[in-house]
Chain A
Amino acid sequence: MSTTDLQNLYQEVILDHSRRPHGFGLRPDADAHSHQLNPTCGDEITLELHRDPATDVVTAVRWEGHGCAISQASASLFSGLAEGLTTAEITTRIDAFREAMRSRGTIEPDEQLLGDAVVLGGVSKYIARVKCAMLAWVAAEDALATLPA
């Protein structure tokens, strides 16, 4: 890794999200939630979804947890991305994000689909950090699976 890569990995927008995260703080009335742990570092997240059952639109994504800048920024970016989307649209985005993350830098994340979360594209070159970036998205996937259709 060169210093340029380091700056690409830790873009200012990522550091900003990790310092002032979007969607931080749980609410008592969530429709689904999931707790995920990264056993290698002890980082954890609890993520919850608030859904309008009539439209299947996720109206709010809230989360709490602690972890590295990558995991915190990723949770923040996911929260901003998912709000206002249907559960099916969110699932499509989780799949696209995972595919990019597992690509070892060969797949550029799709900005149309993933919006600001594409800034995390640099993480895919660092295998050890992919789990950090995926933590919130895995929690969301797990929470979605518990929602009644």
Chain B
Amino acid sequence: MTSSTAVPISDAVPISTAVPISTAELGRIREDFPILASEVNGHRLTYLDSGATSQKPLAVLDAERRFVLTENSAVHRGAHTLAAEATESFENARSAVARFVGAEDDEIVWTSGATAALNLLAYAFSNASLGRGGEAGRRFRLGPGDEILVTELEHHANLIPWQELAERTGATLRYLPIDDAGALELDSLDVLVTEHTKIVAVTHVSNVLGALTPVELFVARAHEVGALVVLDACQSAPHMSVDLHALGVDFAAFSGHKMLAPTGIGVLYGRRELLNALPPFLTGGSMITTVTMQSAEYLPAPQRFEAGTQPVSQAIALGAAVDYLGAVGMDRIAAHEEYLGQRLAAGLSGIDGVRLLGPAAGEFRTGLASFAVADIHPHDLGQFLDDRGIAVRVGHHCAQPLHRRLGLTSSTRASSYLYTTADEVDEFLAGVADAITFFGVRP
């Protein structure tokens, strides 16, 4: 079995100045997540699938429960006391999330998740392309000759909406390729982003590789030609300090369930002037000023994008989630996960027959690692690990083009969060080594 107790960390990895999360503090954090103490297949759960969805702390569940039990009522309508309290809590949650990502309150649009946020945006562009939004919406119009640029490593949620938008408008979808190691071919950026480019959609952190995108390069080049930058922040906002104003992106999306909140809540961020010029996608109640039998006028953002009844208790829970994360400190969480990511990368690299995907051990990665094992299918490996109570993700992780480019159909991913321990990483590494023996790949 491969030893994984000593993990060399190269000088290439930036050393964080954040105060580390101590063992004692980690123990206290874990007590906030009762599911982590549960037993799976006769073993204590080792949850290494936080990249898919995070576990939820009591504080978040309590916040949602408190709201439902004491304030529940319709927001932004009605004048009774509960309605006012509910509206205040709902908007306070929006403020908390806005502060968390360096945005203004009215730049945060609630959606059901990042997929919904990106589709909302793509359909709003679509509506603008049909002439909706009038003069203000002109800057969002797409047609033949215009281009949308994505990258080869995008999650399907930041790829297919743009494919469809291109199909609907006659625009051309192009992509920035990755190299054999999975790194973005940044040298091609200047060539691929041209005066024809209207949208540049890129992920902040690859959900498969854990590599960090140099967003500033994309923003600088896109803005040089007047293109808008859409950032998929699903794997960054939960795991590191993200300042959307400082990054300078035009739009961003992330999901609550990956950052300690329930499912059914997510965020579309847009710069204020853009959101207020963008035509709506979903229409109906709560997003209008004046309605006649012929037409309607719309509220400013964010309400113009929040038609119908909103996921109120989920939004309040997301507010509590970012408060929880903020209290621990995002820089400390990032440093903790960076350490775990390096431990994963170094440990996996040290096992014969394992191919680590993405940045090599010692190079920066977030707290996740995907890999392939020669002659063991990820489903079989996942089943073996599950037998030990170790939960990992197997499959293509909604990134088929990335896997195809790397010559794979699927891979196995271990992903950590603030509550993950080094011991859990080591148990996982031992499990991978033992699986190789079990399946008889290595005599």
Measured CB to CB, the residues of A under 8 A from B are 1-3, 5-6, 9-10, 15, 19, 40-43, 66-70, 126, 129, 132
Contact with A along B52-95 (1 / 0, CB 8 A): 00000000000000000000000000000000000000000000
B409 within 8 A of A: yes
Contact (Cβ within 8 A) B380 A43? no
**CB of A76, distance to nearest CB on chain B (Å):** 14
**CB of B407, distance to nearest CB on chain A (Å):** 12
Contact (Cβ within 8 A) B41 A41? no
**CB of A71, distance to nearest CB on chain B (Å):** 8
B396 within 8 A of A: yes
Contact with A along B363-388 (1 / 0, CB 8 A): 00000000000000111100110110
Contact (Cβ within 8 A) A69 B439? yes
What are some 10 contacts across the A-B interface (CB < 8 A)?
A1-B41, A10-B380, A10-B383, A10-B438, A41-B395, A42-B396, A43-B410, A68-B380, A70-B380, A126-B383
Measured CB to CB, the residues of B under 8 A from A are 41-42, 377-380, 383-384, 386-387, 394-396, 400, 403, 409-410, 438-440
Q: A2-B42, A66-B409 are in contact. Are A42 and B395 (CB under 8 A)?
A: yes
Please measure, in the bound complex, the distance between the C-alpha atom of A69 and the C-alpha atom of B378, giving whole angstroms.
10
Contact (Cβ within 8 A) A68 B387? no
Please measure, in the bound complex, the distance between the C-alpha atom of A57 and the C-alpha atom of B387, giving whole angstroms.
42
Given contacts A1-B41, A41-B410, A69-B377, 18 further A-B contacts (CB under 8 A): A2-B387, A5-B387, A6-B387, A6-B438, A9-B383, A10-B438, A10-B439, A15-B439, A41-B378, A42-B395, A42-B396, A42-B403, A42-B410, A43-B377, A43-B409, A67-B379, A70-B379, A129-B379
Please measure, in the bound complex, the distance between the C-alpha atom of A37 and the C-alpha atom of B386, giving whole angstroms.
24
Contact (Cβ within 8 A) A69 B380? yes
Q: Which of A3, A15, A132 contacts B379 (CB 8 A)?
A: A132
- On chain A, the residues within 8 Å of B410 by CB distance are 41-43
Main secondary structure of the interface of B (DSSP, over half): mixed
Contact (Cβ within 8 A) A129 B403? no
Q: A2-B42, A69-B377 are in contact. Are A40 and B395 (CB under 8 A)?
A: yes
Contact (Cβ within 8 A) B379 A68? yes
- On chain A, the residues within 8 Å of B379 by CB distance are 41, 43, 67-68, 70, 129, 132
Closest Cβ neighbor of B440 among chain A residues: A15
**CB of B159, distance to nearest CB on chain A (Å):** 16
Q: Which of B386, B394, B438, B440 contacts A1 (CB 8 A)?
A: B386
Please measure, in the bound complex, the distance between the C-alpha atom of A2 and the C-alpha atom of B394, giving whole angstroms.
20
**CB of A133, distance to nearest CB on chain B (Å):** 11
**CB of B53, distance to nearest CB on chain A (Å):** 16
Closest Cβ neighbor of A5 among chain B residues: B387
- On chain B, the residues within 8 Å of A10 by CB distance are 380, 383, 438-439
Q: A41-B379, A68-B377, A70-B380 are in contact. Are A2 and B409 (CB under 8 A)?
A: no
**CB of A16, distance to nearest CB on chain B (Å):** 9
